[in-house]
Amino acid sequence: MISLYCNMATLAILTFILGYIAISLEHPLRINKAATAVLIGVLCWTIYILQLNDAEAGVESLMHHLGEISSILFFLLGAMTIVELIDCHEGFKLMTQRIKTRNKVKLLWIISILTFFLSALLDNLTTAIVMTSLVCKILDERNDRLYFASMVIIAANAGGAFSPLGDVTTTMLWIGNQISAGNIILKLFFPSIIVCLIPLFLISRKFTNQTLPEITVVQDIKYPGDSKLVLILGILLLLFVPVFKLLTHLPPFMGILFALGILWIVTSYLHRNKNEVHRNQLSVVYALQKIDSPSILFFLGILLAVAGLESFGLLSQLAEILTSTFKNEQLIVVALGIISAIVDNVPLVAAAQGMYSIVDFSTDHTFWILLALTTGTGGSMIIIGSAAGVAAMGIAKIEFMWYFRRIAWIAFLGFISGVGAYMAQEFIF
């Protein structure tokens, strides 16, 4: 029995590693990472159940994990739909039309600060897509676009780290009750700003005394009144989600579904007298068609795979190895943050949640707070280390090696400075 367990556990690890290699080679292989993730998720659980004497117990364990995973997926589905609905109503265009400066340094600061706070309110992936698209519209020189888009990646990841809505990993920790919404904002707001500001100062130096010849962004908002209403209501409803959880003690996905329901009713009433074509293009049904469904399936597959490894007991063994190697919880978390530059931070946080229980580290323990910071911002060091980076890479056509040579060290300085700021903050207060 022990031999069978060891063989099957080894097979599960190999399946996971091979799957990860395929995910990292998504573009040359031309196989969508969601397909690979779903496959390894199913295979890991198949391997786990085959080595059990009691298959029913394995299925029961799967259903237990699926409940936790589903709460994350429903939250993402609701949040992404609300964001897409705001975008359908040209709410983001309404925000960006006020950017009129021709000074490149000022423009970089405006875009970076806007990205930072927008990613905290919405999410870093959507914010990176919107702001990188804006950068590509207002900048003609390729080198300018690359540096601006790189700063968008860093700012989006930094802004997402301190908000329960801003990054999938922070959302996972919030839903898993490892952190509370108020405490993560209080503890990580200053360190996240440092993560953003250090690279911003360094990149700003490249554009000293440089100006743009002209900003040509077409602003043709069809229904400006509707855009303002949906933008303001959408953001207010997203901000209400943590309050809803605090008041009702229901999981966050219930709050996001409540917000989606309210916005759905309001937009349906708002467009009731428009012609059918416009009404359909401004509907929640249309927004649902535009959301990134493969990303939802990617998260499903990867979280299932990690849950399978957790059921084997492999994550607890990894926790023991990390603990015995580093002998310091802060060093463990920093190591995980650096690893997140190479490996997607979603499975890393999922693994950490499996490796270290709420019994080991209680809600709002330094371990979880610092984990949100390091895994949320560590991905900025390599362009494929975060969803925001991958999105910006595709939109702005950033080459992997260009980013690695020119931006990686800047992002690393921001990362280390943020960790140092958090340590200093905890020491002082």
Q: 104 near 207, Cβ under 8 Å?
A: yes
pLDDT tens per residue across all 429 residues of the chain: 567 778 888 898 899 889 878 877 777 888 888 899 899 999 999 999 988 888 888 888 899 888 878 888 888 788 888 888 988 888 877 776 777 777 899 999 999 999 999 888 877 877 887 788 788 877 888 899 999 999 999 999 999 999 887 888 888 888 888 998 889 999 999 999 999 999 999 999 999 888 877 655 555 777 788 888 998 898 888 878 878 887 898 888 898 899 999 999 999 998 888 888 888 888 888 888 888 788 788 878 888 888 888 788 776 677 677 777 877 888 888 988 888 787 667 767 877 887 777 877 888 889 999 999 999 999 899 887 787 887 787 778 888 788 989 999 999 999 999 999 999 998 887
3-state secondary structure the chain: CHHHHHHHHHHHHHHHHHHHHHHHCHHHHCCCHHHHHHHHHHHHHHHHHHCCCCHHHHHHHHHHHHHHHHHHHHHHHHHHHHHHHHHHCCHHHHHHCCCCCCEHHHHHHHHHHHHHHHHHHCCHHHHHHHHHHHHHHHCCCHHHHHHHHHHHHHHHHHHHHCCCCCCHHHHHHHHCCCCCHHHHHHHHHHHHHHHHHHHHHHHHHHHCCCECCCCCCCCCCCCHHHHHHHHHHHHHHHHHHHHHHHHHCCCHHHHHHHHHHHHHHHHHHHCCCCCHHHHHHCCHHHHHHHCCHHHHHHHHHHHHHHHHHHHHCHHHHHHHHHHHHHCCHHHHHHHHHHHCCCCCHHHHHHHHHHHCCCCCCCCCCHHHHHHHHHHHHHHHHCHHHCHHHHHHHHHHCCCHHHHHHHCHHHHHHHHHHHHHHHHHHHHHC
What are the φ/ψ torsions at residue 348 (nearest 5 degrees)?
Answer: -65, -45
Number of domains in the chain: 1
* pLDDT given at position 1: 58
* pLDDT given at position 372: 93
Model pTM above 0.85: no
Q: Rounded distance, CA 225 to CA 387, Å?
A: 32
* pLDDT given at position 214: 61
Q: Give the domain range for residue 88.
A: 2-428
Pull the structure tokens for residue 10. Answer: 């080894």
